[in-house]
Amino acid sequence: MNSNQDCIAKEDILIVDDNPDNLYLLSKMLAKKGYRVRTASNGQMALTAAQAVAPDLVLLDIMMPDIDGYEVCANLKADPNTAEIPVIFLSALTDTFDKIKAFAVGGVDYVTKPFQLAEVLARVQNHLALRAAEIAKKELNYQLEERVKERTTQLEAANCELKREINERKLLEAQLLKMALHDSLTNLPNRVLFMERLIQALNCSKQHQDYQFAVIFLDCDRFKIINDSLGHPVGDELLIALARRLETHLDSQATLARLGGDEFAILLVNIETITTATKLANTILQALAIPFQLKRYEVFINASIGIALGNCDYEQPEHLLRDADTAMYRAKTLGKGQYQIFDPAMHHATLQALQLENDLRRAVKQQEFIVYYQPIIDLKTGMIFGFEALLRWHHPQKGLVSPSVFISVAEETGLINYIGNWVLGEACRQLQLWHQEKVTDYPLTMSVNLSVKQFAQLDLIEQIDRVLAQTQVNPRFLKLEITESVIMENDKAAGIVFQKLRERNIQLSIDDFGTGYSSLSYLHSFPVDNLKIDRSFVQRLDGNPENLGLIPTIISITKALGMKAIAEGIETPEQLAQLRILDCHFGQGFLFSKPLPAKQATNLIFLAPRW
Ligand code: C2E
Ligand code: MG
Ligand code: MG
């Protein structure tokens, strides 16, 4: 009870009554109960007191002169500072007391005079408790609102964070998607995206019979040389520059993709005729005539272009790309820097090449190769000086197949390494046999052709050493024939190999001389022993001194550089005579003999013919 009294002791009650007895009585009773009590004997005083310090409860007499209780109450309620204070009306039984009005102006209760003090106290305590509960409720509400606000702010922040994360993820997804569908170097669509678009175009053509589209396949010519000589970073720079230049010639409908390496593809959709594609191909070829200005270098790059016209006849998108690729390949073999339109015959040729490849693999397994030997004549003595080993393929169905038919396929498939090594072994074995049997009273020489591809092998010298060791042939009498392309394509590596050949006293001949590159500077820097004048020059010799062409020049080069000239493809006595006049060292051709199997070649040696 004590603590209860302590608690209410602080509460402040304002008693308003014009009757001093009432004031006295009530204040005495309430003060006794521990309340702080203030009194006011009229309405105005009451308002002033309430405004000065807001009481916790007002006991308000109704009947007062000047301002009556209703009005005081109404005033208190009108002021926000006092509006919440509970007002209990005091009314005499005799008063005409309007309860409705009392509640209407904001009173919470009333007591009638004469007072029963216990009743007054009970009502006062009730309303103070109610008021306290009200305040506590408000406080709780306030706290609740604050917490709700706080939580809302937290939720909003979390929401914001979530949104940010979602956006980030979407961005990442978009980036990943872009990465999956684009080439990182040039930023162009990659093969996957290109195929997707190709499928769309193909579907369109299935739905609309007259819908046409085209695939343009572009491959840089001799890009490898740029990569090898200027380095990969320059190669990359060039690819980017090329991509940007190609883009400038395309409309927004076209898809330009990098398929890999130096290969690009363009998809032209909804075109009227193939002319749209050929025009573009021409434009691109012209655009490539302008050099690329890279950071450190100015570079020219040419391209070979293949075009395949797409229509509903195609079943697979890959077939279109394959056909455009085939046409590009044709453009390359026809001399690069041009475009070709696919026609089904090309596909047929590719299939044939594939068949040839299979046959060739079988031929290696079944040992269907033979080496023929064609004599090389010393034009001064007219006697056989040596032989050139020439490969033949004994095809079970086609009979004897010439190397010109299959060497390129053997090179592309890498089979040439095995075959070439085999030819070298055979030729050296045959030469050693001739040397041992002393078929001539001077040592014959043996020329063996080496492919560009063989030169790219790291163990070429080891292979040659192995053959030399196995056959015991004297390397001095071995001549290796290479074309100028070996030097052009393997420049640095070739130099090292040449040096090693020189150390072994093996001779080096440049085959088909005059048909390849125009630069002769390599003749100074590489240890070349012989130049073989190409058949095409020799065949122009017809007795007329005006048709000597390059032959005198080539012969004088060999003389100036201490080399020997060998004329290939001599077929007529006139050609022979003229070459003799020009003082050509050696000759080879059908006039003397066609390439022969070993046995017949041996017979020829024994015949010891003289031309
Ligand atoms: P090549 O090295 O220039 O060989 C000369 C070619 O001319 C041979 O053709 C030969 O039969 C032919 N020939 C010789 N004299 C005459 C003539 O008077 N008139 C005509 N019309 N042709 C003549 P073959 O044997 O068909 O070889 C063609 C090419 O194949 C060779 O040209 C050579 O580059 C390559 N080859 C041949 N055997 C091998 C080999 O074992 N390895 C490599 N890598 N290539 C080889
Ligand atoms: Mg040759
Ligand atoms: Mg030749």
The whole-number average pLDDT for the span 362-390 is 96
What value does the mean pLDDT take over residues 239-249? Answer: 97
Tens-digit pLDDT profile for residues 471-506: 999 999 999 999 988 877 766 778 889 999 999 999
209 has a pLDDT exceeding 70: yes
Average pLDDT, the chain: 92
Q: Is the CB–ligand 1 distance for residue 229 below 6 Å?
A: no
Ligand 1, atom nearest to 371 Cα: 41
Nearest CA to ligand 1 atom 46: 449
Range 79-91 average pLDDT: 95
pLDDT at residue number 349: 81
DSSP, residue by residue, 245-291: HHHTT--TT-EEEEEETTEEEEEE-S-SSTHHHHHHHHHHHHHTTSP
Q: What secondary structure letter does DSSP report for 459?
A: T
- 346, pLDDT greater than 80: yes
Q: Is the pLDDT of residue 94 over 80?
A: no
pLDDT, position 93: 65
Task: Specify burial of residue 84 (Cβ count, 10 A radius: 0-12, 13-18, 19+).
Answer: middle
**Interval between CA 403 and ligand 1 midpoint (Å):** 7
Q: What is the mean pLDDT of residues 442-455?
A: 94
pLDDT at 25 over 50: yes
- Determine whether 353 is exposed, middle or buried from the number of CB atoms within 10 Å of its CB (0-12, 13-18, 19+): middle
- Which residue among 387, 406, 412, 449 has the greatest number of ligand 1 atoms within 8 angstroms of its CB, and so is best to mutate? 449
What pLDDT is stored for residue 490 in this prediction? 64
- The rounded distance, in Å, linking the Cα atoms of 148 and 380 is 114
Q: Indicate which atom in ligand 1 lies nearest the CA of residue 450.
A: 44
Q: If DSSP states are collapsed to H, E and C, what string results for 137-182?
A: HHHHHHHHHHHHHHHHHHHHHHHHHHHHHHHHHHHHHHHHHHHHHE
* Arithmetic mean of pLDDT, 556-583: 96
Q: How confident is the model at residue 519 (pLDDT cuts 50, 70, 90)?
A: low
Cα 253 to middle of ligand 1, angstroms: 51
The response to whether residue 587 sits with its C-beta less than 6 Å from ligand 1 reads no
Q: Average pLDDT, stretch 533-556?
A: 91
Is residue 6 over pLDDT 50?
no
Nearest CA to ligand 1 atom 13: 569
In the reported structure, the alpha carbon of residue 586 is separated from the centroid of ligand 1 by a whole-number distance in angstroms of 16
The answer, yes or no, to whether any atom of ligand 1 lies below 6 A from the CB of 423, is yes
Q: Is 420 in the pocket of ligand 1 (CB under 6 A)?
A: yes
For residue 588, which ligand has an atom nearest its CA?
Answer: 1
590 in ligand 1 pocket by Cβ < 6 Å?
yes
| d(CA 87, ligand 2 centre) in Å | 128
Ligand 1 within 6 A of 533 CB?
Answer: no
Q: According to the model, what pLDDT value does residue 598 have?
A: 97
Query: What is the pLDDT confidence band of residue 457, given thresholds at 50, 70 and 90?
Result: confident
The pLDDT of residue 518: 55
**Count of Cβ atoms closer than 10 Å to residue 189 Cβ:** 22
Cβ(511) – ligand 1 distance below 6 Å: yes
460 lines ligand 1 (CB under 6 A): no
pLDDT 10s digits, 174-184: 888 888 899 99
With a cut of 70, say whether residue 116 has pLDDT above it: yes
What is the Å distance from ligand 3's center to 426 Cα?
20
The answer to whether 290 touches 302, Cβ cutoff 8 Å, is no
Could you write out the three-class secondary structure of 116-135?
Answer: CHHHHHHHHHHHHHHHHHHH
Please list the residues that pair with 531 across neighbouring strands. 510, 565
Half-sphere exposure in the Cβ direction for 40 (13 Å, CA)? 27
Under the banding of pLDDT at 50, 70 and 90, the label for residue 241 is very high
**Ligand 1 contact, 425 CB (< 6 A):** no
Ligand 1 touching residue 446 (CB < 6 A):
no
Q: Is 426 in the pocket of ligand 1 (CB under 6 A)?
A: no
pLDDT at 257 over 90: yes
Per-residue pLDDT averaged across 260-277, rounded? Answer: 95
Relative to beta strand 255-260, strand 339-341 is: unpaired
For a ligand 1 pocket test, name from 390, 405, 413, 533 the mutation site with the most ligand atoms within 8 angstroms of its C-beta. Answer: 390
Question: Mean pLDDT throughout 87-100?
Answer: 82
Going by alpha carbons, the residue nearest to atom 21 of ligand 1 is 569
What average pLDDT does range 392-412 have in this prediction? 91
Cα 535 to ligand 3 centroid, rounded to whole Å: 7
- The two structure tokens encoding residue 579: 């070459």
Ligand 1: atom nearest CA of 416 is 44
**Could you tell me the pLDDT band of residue 3, with boundaries at 50, 70 and 90?**
very low
- pLDDT tens-digit map of 143-156: 999 999 999 999 99
Query: Of all protein residues, whose CA lies closest to atom 5 belonging to ligand 1?
Result: 568
pLDDT, tens digit, for every residue of 279-320? 999 999 999 989 999 999 999 999 999 999 998 889 899 999
What pLDDT is recorded for position 488?
75
Please tell me the residue having the least CA distance from ligand 1 atom 43. 449
Lowest mean pLDDT among 76-85, 245-254, 343-352, 501-510: 343-352
Q: pLDDT: is 514 or 9 the higher one? A: 514
CA distance 256 to 504: 53
- In Å, how far from its chain's centre is CA 601? 58
CA-closest residue to ligand 1 atom 42: 449
Gap from CA of 532 to ligand 3 centroid (Å): 7
- Rounded Cα distance between 383 and 587, Å, is 10
- Nearest-CA residue for ligand 1 atom 12 is 569
pLDDT > 90 fraction of the chain, expressed in percent and rounded: 77
Distance 487 CA to ligand 3 centre (A): 16
pLDDT of residue 91: 87
Q: Which of these, 357, 387, 366, lies nearest to 375 by C-alpha position? A: 387
Residue 204 phi, psi dihedral angles, 5° rounding: -60, -45
Cα–Cα dist 5/32, whole Å:
10
Q: Give the pLDDT band (50/70/90) at residue 1.
A: very low
Q: What is the pTM of this model?
A: 0.58
**Residue 343 three-state SS:** coil
Ligand 1: nearest atom to the Cα of 534: 3
| 26 class by beta-carbon count within 10 Å (0-12 exposed, 13-18 middle, 19+ buried) | buried
Choose among 427, 411, 410, 434: nearest CA to 480. 427
Q: Which pLDDT score, from 0 to 100, does residue 37 have?
A: 96
Ligand 1 centroid to Cα of residue 390, in Å, is 6
Whether the CB of 375 sits within 6 Å of ligand 1 = no
For residue 4, name the pLDDT band (cuts at 50, 70, 90): very low
Distance CA 595, CA 576 (A): 18
Q: Which one is predicted more confidently, 353 or 556? A: 556
Q: Which residues contact 206 (CB under 8 A, 6 or more apart)?
A: 312
Instruction: State whether the beta carbon of 449 lies less than 6 angstroms from ligand 1.
Output: yes
CA gap 12, 56 in Å, rounded? 5
